[in-house]
Structure 1
Amino acid sequence: MAFPSPALDYVEQRLSPNSPMHINQSSIVISTDEGWAVAEPGYKVTKGRTVLIDVSGKLMFAEVGDGVFKTNDGIIEGDALDDAKVLGVVTFMVKSLD
């Protein structure tokens, strides 16, 4: 009869991006100029959150305001909101070390 190794009590799973960022099948993972972003389509969109939006086929990040989206390119409001589709709430942004 063999004695079980006490080292087995300290064995951990290998760390991957999926575990701390909770990436699942519905997650949207996209490459950015600075690294990677993870957006979740099922999360509630609330004021102050960053979202991934599709505006006439162009993907961009925007902060949710009072009836507007604030982007690096400016503010999307009024009739322009008809062309904007929220794809998901951004939950993680990871910068590349390259």
Structure 2
Amino acid sequence: MGFPSPAMDYQEQRLTIDLLCGIDGNCRVIQTSCGWAVVNVAIRPEQGDTLLVRMDNRNQFVKLQGSALITEDGEA
């Protein structure tokens, strides 16, 4: 067999879309009016986080402030 190659220490992973965007088994990719959103459903939202909600039959980004969801139009 011989000795292991020292070049193996510098071997890199192949780049994929999943790796670049941080997509794993807990993520959902959702189309929105302004592009695509990657949502990790395993992470619990914290104060100040941006969330993706479905309201009035459309996807909308909101901010979590206390128990309120703040939309672009104001509080919802």
Same fold, judged at TM 0.5 (above):
yes
> What is the deviation of 1:70?
1.1
Q: Which consecutive aligned stretches of 4+ in structure 1 deviate over 6 angstroms post-superposition?
A: none
AA at the equivalent of 1:43: I
Cα distance in 2 between the residues matched to 1:52 and 1:63: 9
1:2-37 CA-partner distances (Å, limit 9, x unpaired): 66543232111012342354422331223452x543
TM superposition score normalised by structure 1? 0.57
3-state secondary structure, aligned to 1:25:
coil
What does residue 41 of structure 2 align with? Answer: 41
1:3-82 matches, cutoff 5 A: 4-19=4-19, 21-32=21-32, 33=34, 36-76=36-76
> What is the deviation of 1:61?
0.8
Structure with greater contact order relative to length (CA < 8 Å, sep ≥ 6) = 1
RMSD: 2.5
1:43-86 CA-partner distances (Å, limit 9, x unpaired): 2122211111111321111100122211223221xxxxxxxxxx
**Matched residues, percent identical?**
36
Aligned length: 75
TM superposition score normalised by structure 2? 0.69
Judging changes above 3 Å, is the alpha-carbon distance between structure 1 residues 56 and 42 closer, same or farther for their aligned structure 2 residues?
farther
Give unmatched runs, 5+ long, in structure 1.
77-98
